[in-house]
Amino acid sequence: MRLKHNKKRNTAFLYEVLTKEVAKAIVAKDLKKKESVLALMKEFFSKGRVLRQELELYKLLGESHGADHYFAERLIQETKKEYESLDQEKIFEAQSDIIKMINKKFGPEIYSNFVPNYRNLATISQIFGTEIGVKHKVLLERTIIQGIVSKPEEVVESKNMPHIDDLVYKKVVENFNAKYGEELDENQKALIGKYVTLFGDNSLEFKVYLNEELYRLKEEVKKISDSETIKTDEDMQRKVSLVSEKMESFKNQPIDDKMIQQVLKIQALARESVL
């Protein structure tokens, strides 16, 4: 049974707000809360769970980019067909259970966590549903198609480096902690999302992803190091060198909250350097 769009009945939205809650707990070093949220996510979103199956269909439509129009249309058709094959009663029951547990463990304020792609998730939810008219559904599908055929936003390196103080590691960390709740960028969001699903057979996949992300960050830090602004400032050269050394040290560190928090900060540094 599906009524008009309700964000609490949007599986992808529930996943996103829980992911944000884990991120906030990591930054606040609230180990108890982090473990509690992760346990809930593992219970409902681990491999084989019906909400995990539904979530993967949301991701197919929400995270596919750069395709042609024909592929986008076929992707929507096949994804809708796959969605219809899911047991809707089990989905509804699982949603009811997780909503009940979220309310009990964390309170309704968790639904206020900022989800930047909420409108897109709401659109996908409606095209999966049956309560809207054909004309409206076609219009919504066109919106999804536009997202699929569009190219991912590319970060263009600015010709003008920001004021040198903005690159100081300590300042970036302070900015990150202050803005974390509302300005989590796509790279940080991806890191947190994959980290919170680090369950058993997914650990190898996460390690591969982390290695790729660290390689990207090393390239970004190298660009910073090679800039004329940094080359003429010995103190900043030393700070950038320390960041590079920190990334190299990750090879010998266990993957835990501390390491993830450090990577999040370096991601923030890379982002600040190209604004």
- Max avg pLDDT among 102-111, 172-181, 205-214, 219-228: 102-111
77, 125, 128, 135, 202 from 140: Cα distances, Å: 13, 10, 11, 9, 33
141: which 2 tokens? 């599908």
Confidence of residue 104 (pLDDT cuts 50, 70, 90): very high
Report the distance separating Cα 187 and Cα 178, nearest Å.
18
Q: Which long-range contacts (CB under 8 A, 24 or more apart) does 76-82 make?
A: 76/127, 76/141, 76/144, 76/145, 76/148, 80/127, 80/128, 82/57
Residue 137 burial (C-beta neighbours within 10 Å; 0-12, 13-18, 19+): middle
124: which 2 tokens? 């996908």
* φ, ψ dihedrals at 10, nearest 5°: -105, 105
Residue type, 59: K
First CA to last CA across the chain, in angstroms? 46
In a 13 Å sphere around the CA of 46, the CA atoms on its Cβ side amount to: 10
pTM: 0.60
Give pLDDT tens digits for 230-260.
778 788 888 888 888 888 888 778 887 788 8
For the segment 108-115, the average pLDDT, to the nearest whole number, is 84
At residue 4, the pLDDT reads 55
**Residue 108 has what DSSP assignment?**
G
Residues of the chain with pLDDT > 70: what percent? Answer: 80
Report the distance separating Cα 239 and Cα 230, nearest Å.
10
- Please name the residues in contact with 273: beta carbons below 8 A apart, sequence gap of 6 or more: 161, 162, 167, 220, 223, 224
For the segment 35-59, the average pLDDT, to the nearest whole number, is 92
Confidence of residue 167 (pLDDT cuts 50, 70, 90): very low
For the segment 103-117, the average pLDDT, to the nearest whole number, is 86
Residue type, 250: F
